[in-house]
Structure 1
Amino acid sequence: MELDSMSDINEEKMQNVIEQMKEDNIKFIRLQFVDINGTVKNIVIPFNEEDMEELFNEGMLFDGSSIAGFVGINESDLVLKPDINTYSRLSWRPEESAVCRFICDVWTPEKEPFVGDPRSVLKKSLAKIGKMGLQYNIGPEPEFFIVDIDENGYPMPYDEAGYFDVEPLDKGPDFRRELTLNLEELDFEVEASHHEVAPGQNEIAFKFKDALKTADAVITFKQAIKAIVDNMATFDQMDYRVTFMPKPFFGVNGSGMHCHQSIFKGDKNLFSDPDSDTGLSQDALYFMGGLLKHAPAVTAITNPIVNSYKRLVPGYEAPVYRAYGLKNRSALIRVPAARGKATRIEYRSPDPACNPYLAFAVMLEAGIDGIQNKIDPGDPIEENIYTMTEEEREAKGIKVLPSSLWEAYHSLEEDPLILGALGDHISQKFLELKYQEWDEYRVQVFGYEQRKYLDI
């Protein structure tokens, strides 16, 4: 994949998209991008057919100085360039004033990719392996909670159902049905939807694609689900909302975003080797070796907030141990049973608070480092690691992930490969934000502390 130029729009494709916008009765256009945290930002402009050619070819100037991780006030001018392949009418907006969106790349006025644009970071990593004839496919599984707000303003789970439950315990089928229909209108290929383990927790799984399309899809998925549930709640006059917070409630499972990954060369899955005992190729093992080696630094990106580490604790099915297993869900990396073209590895620590562009880029760079430097992941671990003693884990060489944001960002500081994948600009801005977040957190006094220590 080559990075775009500012003037590479295919004329025929542009006219086809404009015609589709007219057919969809588009009145407003959202020019969408994300900040360093993965938070969706946009500028809304009215649809004017005469202006579209200039918009697609030249982009739109905007002030980037107030966007997290972008630029200072002394260098604020940036350009949004719509990716014409990301056109989508927003299904949750009314048809009489229809709204579409384009996901944008961020450029400098000098017509260069902006180094602080998370999407460009992923595109750069994909371009590197593209020159090797490789494609990185990834299939994430973002979980989420539907919560209600009580009379005191506190969130509580929408229901008390558990894994794969049905009505009446599961109160989410109508939500998931509506969400699935809307996601399909947005060109998602939804594979399955179900209630997850914790009360109020849900998952809607969609098919994997190449990493850039998938990262775009994760951003769209989160935005769409929040908007659709908000619309349904307004119609029902209930205070329901969706949260992708990794651990919103104590004592129950948190929300992860397990990432299924494979590398293809043409139509050949490089992770597959039907002649090996496990069906895995040596490249698959080396890729896992790279992920395991760089996991502490990767965790800073895939689990980027203080709350992420309330989920990464033993006892709630979240992985904390740096090992891989062929079936073992207590390990950081699991290898699902499917083989052939469906052979893949599942990296289990990420959570849906991450910026998918940055998360996918650092996982890819770590795995490719494993392949290029033949990093041995060791033997698979098939025992329940949670029940092992510390001595047993040490004997098998099983190390742990960072247990706090503080540990994670210090690991990132010490890993030049992952810092290099992010680039100097994003590395510096990301670490500055994490220092600030940790400092804010560490001086807070919580209800737990008050209840435990007030009478000392």
Structure 2
Amino acid sequence: MVKANPVTKEDVLQAIAENDVKFIRTQFTDTLGMIKSWAIPAEDLEGAFEDGVMFDGSSIEGFTRIEESDMFLMPDPTTFRLLPWRPKEGAVARIIGDVAKPDGTPFDGDPRYVLKRAVAEAEKMGFTMNIGPELEFFLFELDDKGHPTTNLTDKGGYFDFAPLDKAQDVRRAIDFALEDMGFKIEASHHEVAPSQHEINFRFGDVLTTCDNIVTFKYVVKSIAYHMGYYATFMPKPLFGVNGSGMHSNQSLMSDGKNAFYDAETPDGLSSTAKHYIAGLLKHVRDFAAITNPTVNSYKRLVPGYEAPIYCTWSASNRSSLIRIPASRGLGTRVELRCPDPSCNPYLAFAAQLRAGLDGIKNELEAPASTDVNIFKLTEEDRIERGIDSLPGNLKEAIDCMTDSVFVKEVLGNHAFENYLEAKNSEWNNYKAQVHQWELDTYLSIL
């Protein structure tokens, strides 16, 4: 096994030789966050580090037109990881890359490049971003043909253990595989809904952690399937129970210190943290179509299931969109609770980071902390307090994003236009369908 995560090209080539690696799965994501992957012989990787691996960009969602289709994937050696569930002899590894144009310049529609631009903006201001995402997912049974169902694997609840958490062996196998790949796991447990699970990442730099999120989904689905289950990151696969979120813990570091912490303030939060919160609140409706990108995302964002829908912040109140966990010092962080795991993490965290930086640059003032249960407020109370809400469906989120100069600047023209085109197509397809609810409600009475 690889004893430490490789950093250089030479480290990777040594790891390939020591671990009998035969194939490399090169990976990146399309605009919507879907993994794109193909295998190359391990002996070809050295050349790929120099020249890249050519592929047809016109076949990738949101990339290029047919007449300008040649693209190159430039492998990033720091992302090399063995796939521990594959055989040890003739091992297989994955490596993530950056997409480049034929002239060698970065492709501005590559989601990883969009995040890199946001990271560079933070560095110019003297900050680095650390994140600790909490990803939830469901494990369902497969049918006798190997197709996914929504049949429950257990009836467990929050933190339950065997016999209620019957899929704990699957989760344990996932945990072991991730640790073998060098992931740092903060926590792993059964979530509140039946068949629902959560695995939390330890804080790390935003780019590496987003790479890990992409691989995490791949690992979870692969191991679950090998063990006879189906894992889904669909935000709301079941009616009447909680959906799956991706609570996004984040902090900024400056000169080795947490820029969000100030021991001299009553709540331990710095003015930088307050400005960052204000930036998130200012732009969250505009980037909701990125953090909550599907029709199904908005079935999760409804009252009654712990999902935040009102644009407030609080030091403790879990009904707020932004929560400040109790830890202080290096652990001081902002938790944005609306994102879900169907998002493209590169775009989602680029939007969050740039929103927070906008708040810092312009010294935006955060509203007062909301310390009441917002779900129990009347509409009149919320209006009086000036509490806005997230978009109620994907169409409203698309409209907010379409009008946002901020999001266009974050994504760049190419990714912005292609993302909106894909989301509008998704909405139009959805609204043209006749759904079971309509048949159940109207067919027998109209």
TM class by shorter chain equals over 0.9
**Which residue of 2 is the match for residue 453 of structure 1?**
442
Superposed, 1:182-261 pairs within 5 Å as: 182-233=177-228, 240-261=229-250
* 1:63 alignment partner, one of 40, 45, 56: 56
**Which residue of 2 is the match for residue 9 of structure 1?**
none
Q: Deviations over 1:163-217 (max 9, x none)?
A: 1112111112211111111110010111211110100000111201111001001
**Which residue of 2 is the match for residue 361 of structure 1?**
350
Quote the RMSD (CA, aligned, Å). 1.3
**Which residue of 2 is the match for residue 124 of structure 1?**
117
Q: Does 1:299 align with 2:288?
A: yes
1:150 CA displacement: 5.2
* 2:139 alignment partner, one of 146, 150, 164: 146
**Which residue of 2 is the match for residue 352 of structure 1?**
341
C-alpha contact (below 8 Å) 1:31/1:104 kept by paired residues = yes
**Which residue of 2 is the match for residue 315 of structure 1?**
304
Q: Does 1:26 align with 2:21?
A: yes
Q: Deviations over 1:1-26 (max 9, x none)?
A: xxxxxxxxxxx932232111111110
* Cα distance in 2 between the residues matched to 1:89 and 1:344: 32
* Cα distance in 2 between the residues matched to 1:149 and 1:223: 18
Greater shift in the superposed pair: 151-160 or 208-217:
151-160
- Structure 1 residues 283, 22: CA separation in 2 closer, same or farther (over 3 Å shift)? same
1:153 CA displacement: 6.8
- Structure 1 residues 429, 153: CA separation in 2 closer, same or farther (over 3 Å shift)? closer
Aligned to 1:95, what secondary structure does the other structure show? coil
**Which residue of 2 is the match for residue 438 of structure 1?**
427
Give the aligned residue type for 1:104.
G
Q: Deviations over 1:356-377 (max 9, x none)?
A: 0000000001111011111112
C-alpha contact (below 8 Å) 2:315/2:325 kept by paired residues = yes
Give the aligned residue type for 1:96.
E
User: Could you tell me the percent identity over the aligned residues?
Assistant: 49
Please, which runs of 5 or more residues in structure 1 have no aligned partner? Answer: 1-11, 234-239
* Cα distance in 2 between the residues matched to 1:20 and 1:154: 39
**TM-score normalised to the size of structure 2?**
0.96
Aligned to 2:339, what secondary structure does the other structure show? coil
**Which residue of 1 is the match for residue 155 of structure 2?**
160
**Number of corresponding residues:** 437
C-alpha contact (below 8 Å) 2:148/2:230 kept by paired residues = no
- Structure 1 residues 168, 376: CA separation in 2 closer, same or farther (over 3 Å shift)? same
Give the aligned residue type for 1:199.
P
Q: Deviations over 1:386-430 (max 9, x none)?
A: 010011111111110001000001001121111110000000000
C-alpha contact (below 8 Å) 1:366/1:418 kept by paired residues = no
Give the aligned residue type for 2:110.
D
1:92 CA displacement: 1.5
* Cα distance in 2 between the residues matched to 1:324 and 1:227: 37
Please, which runs of 5 or more residues in structure 2 have no aligned partner? Answer: 1-6
C-alpha contact (below 8 Å) 1:162/1:199 kept by paired residues = yes
C-alpha contact (below 8 Å) 1:365/1:418 kept by paired residues = no
C-alpha contact (below 8 Å) 2:398/2:420 kept by paired residues = yes
1:55 CA displacement: 1.3
**Which residue of 2 is the match for residue 83 of structure 1?**
76
Moved over 6 A (4+): none
**TM-score normalised to the size of structure 1?**
0.94
* Cα distance in 2 between the residues matched to 1:79 and 1:287: 36
* Cα distance in 1 between the residues matched to 2:347 and 2:266: 34
Give the aligned residue type for 2:354.
E
Aligned to 2:286, what secondary structure does the other structure show? helix
Aligned to 1:429, what secondary structure does the other structure show? helix
* Cα distance in 2 between the residues matched to 1:171 and 1:21: 37
